[in-house]
Structure 1
Amino acid sequence: MTSSRLRVFPAISRNRDPKKYVGELMRVAQFADRSGFAGILLFEGNDVFVEPWAMAQHIMGQTTRSSPLIAVNPVYMHPFTAAKFVSSFAQLYGRKVYLNMITGTAVSDLQGLGDEQPHGDRYVRLGEFVALMRQLLENTRPVNFEGRFYRTSNLQLRPRLTRELMPEFLIAGQSEAAQRVARETDCIKMQMLPPDLDRGLDAPGMNFGIFARESREEARRAAKTRFRDNPDDRELLSLTMENTDSVWKRHLYDGQSGELQENGYWLLPFLTFQADCPYLVGSYAEIGDRLKDFAAKGLTTIMLDMVADETEMQHVCKAFAASGLF
């Protein structure tokens, strides 16, 4: 099988300082724009410092080609509102956006918002959300929609988007309900980097971080310097795990080691609440070869956790360059 070019959406590593949040996002967004990345991932949730739709507009206004990957949770808006934003960005900037469809946020936040839907039903709602958004964006005639969660009568969005400006939808959930909705709605299915790196690759999209240097030993030393183990940080993650029903977070958290594995798989950044995914650590050549292997097995799209400083971003670019797929 021939490997194809990878589409990469960087995301800043978990940021707890609101004074640095916008600056770090813009640094990565502008770097991504210069370096040929597809765009940048923007998170959603009660604890996100800037609403992702507002941040997407700020980024698109200060870049030339970036197509942000915007997290969308039905608990925060109606499908018509989301479709209106997508249409507005297309008219303002002549660019498409990507939508990361999610249902998860802290259980306490769902309770605060008065959303009492069980996990499975939230995914039913998500599927309807995607279906209705597509109809609104594609149709030239008013849309009539009858679902469990959404109903419309002669609802029309103007103007209809051209095919090249239609958004692409991703689903990152790992539960059976999430997988079902991804299949039914033809969304790009995402998964976490698997610990053995060779098995369990069953989605066109993957979420992980990269820490690379010229040699494997240098990469491992630098990674352990950047992401240090800390009991207080582990306790912070433990507290957040009591406030989530996320299947993928539970899967990463339960029974996995924070040791840097021989194959480069490293979960410590997640276990210490410094990242939302595992990391792949190694030399440029090792990571380049691994990316080629992933692409040969069908990987097309990467959500890439990234440390928001110029030096680390350059190291990541060298790893992608070594793959020949970027």
Structure 2
Amino acid sequence: MSKKIRIFATVPRNLPPREHVGQLLRLARFSDEAGLAGILLFAGNDTLIEPWPMAQHVLAHTRSCAPLIAVNPAYMHPFTVAKFVTSLALLHSRKLFLNMITGAATSDLQSLGETLSHSDRYARLAEFIEIVRQLLSSTRPLTFRGQFYSTEHLQLRPALPPALMPEFLIAGQSEAAHLIARDTGCLMMQMLPPDLDKGVTSPGVNLGIFARPTRDQAVREATMLFRDDAEKRALLDYSMAQTDSVWKRQLRDAGQSGDIHDNGYWLLPYLTFESDCPYLVGSYDEIGARLRRLAEQNVTTMILDVIADEAELAHIRKALAAGEVI
């Protein structure tokens, strides 16, 4: 029997306001129908609707879709996060996933008065995770003394049932991110690397899938949909000046040509600022085999790039079925 992988779909960031909620719910229902684990909800200055109220909306209108909620200490206190988790658990008896992040555009961090260095933001993240976990795992008053947070007999009620304890994911490729993931026991995510056989070192990966019945058809249609564009590449360069993200720079440096590799690995959608992750391009069987290989490499969790529509979801489902990973 093939190993299974939990798969989360990504919601679009910049939908027109009138379409935003409907499109997110459509994707959440995709998740239910396709057997995916859930959907990733972004957080940030440019997010149209905060992920927590959107998570409530998703839980109220789906059967099993699990929100994977981006949490950045720059925006919230750990008690607030713990309170939201218990509130949603009480309302829906459903489990959440928390995608713990530290990054944002430099200008956004400056507008928030955020002055911590990259490494200090990760050190703060470790304390944040510890406080949230302790609050959720016990109703005993919590006294915590850290470099960034201090609590005095802080108590959270009601208790969270152990089965509904959220899982914590960490996205990042810096040494600080890896250290925090190891020390906190969070599930480490990484971008799919060009060397698919040796470069996957984390249990979670981010990628996009472009699958068709044959490889030639997939390559032809993918290159028609995602076209190279100097102005879009310039947008990526501009965004690089607004971030200290290690993984963003690694991806840019790995794929300047924009060519599809023999193994199906493709970075042009990322280089042209149309995606936040690499793609796999190929036939259903080829991508299915590659996903099965990732599962054998102990990948347990995937975050997929934005799924455009029902037709594209149907192609992705065929690749997942070929790999027997869900």
TM-score of the superposed pair, with normalisation by structure 1: 0.97
Answer whether contact 1:13 1:276 (CA < 8 A) is retained: no
Which residue number in structure 2 is paired with residue 263 of structure 1? 263
SS at structure 2 position matched to 1:243: coil
Which residue number in structure 1 is paired with residue 72 of structure 2? 73
Classify 1:284/1:228 alpha carbon distance in 2 versus 1 (closer, same or farther; 3 Å): same
Bigger shift: residues 7-16 or 267-276: 7-16
* 1:277 partnered with 2:277: yes
Quote the offset at 1:20 in angstroms: 3.7
Where in structure 2 are there 5+ consecutive unaligned residues? none
Classify 1:221/1:17 alpha carbon distance in 2 versus 1 (closer, same or farther; 3 Å): farther
Which residue number in structure 1 is paired with residue 227 of structure 2? 228
Which residue number in structure 2 is paired with residue 302 of structure 1? 302
Quote the offset at 1:266 in angstroms: 0.6
SS at structure 1 position matched to 2:237: helix
Identical positions, percent: 58
Question: 1:80-126: per-residue Cα shift (whole Å, max 9, x none)?
Answer: 00001110110111101000000000011110000100000000000
Answer whether contact 1:13 1:275 (CA < 8 A) is retained: no
SS at structure 2 position matched to 1:40: strand
The whole-number CA distance in structure 2 between the counterparts of 1:145 and 1:3 is 44
Quote the offset at 1:241 in angstroms: 0.9
Aligned residue pairs, count: 325
RMSD over equivalenced CA pairs, Å:
1.3
Bigger shift: residues 225-234 or 54-63: 225-234
Answer whether contact 1:24 1:308 (CA < 8 A) is retained: no
SS at structure 1 position matched to 2:295: helix
Classify 1:24/1:226 alpha carbon distance in 2 versus 1 (closer, same or farther; 3 Å): farther
Question: Counterparts of 1:1-326 in structure 2 under 5 Å?
Answer: 3-12=2-11, 15=14, 17-256=16-255, 257-326=257-326
Answer whether contact 2:9 2:307 (CA < 8 A) is retained: no
Quote the offset at 1:306 in angstroms: 2.8
Answer whether contact 2:181 2:188 (CA < 8 A) is retained: yes
Quote the offset at 1:223 in angstroms: 1.0
Which amino acid letter does the alignment assign opposite residue 271 of structure 2?
Answer: L
SS at structure 2 position matched to 1:75: coil
The whole-number CA distance in structure 2 between the counterparts of 1:172 and 1:253 is 17
TM-score of the superposed pair, with normalisation by structure 2: 0.97
Quote the offset at 1:3 in angstroms: 4.3
Where in structure 1 are there 5+ consecutive unaligned residues? none
Answer whether contact 2:2 2:324 (CA < 8 A) is retained: no
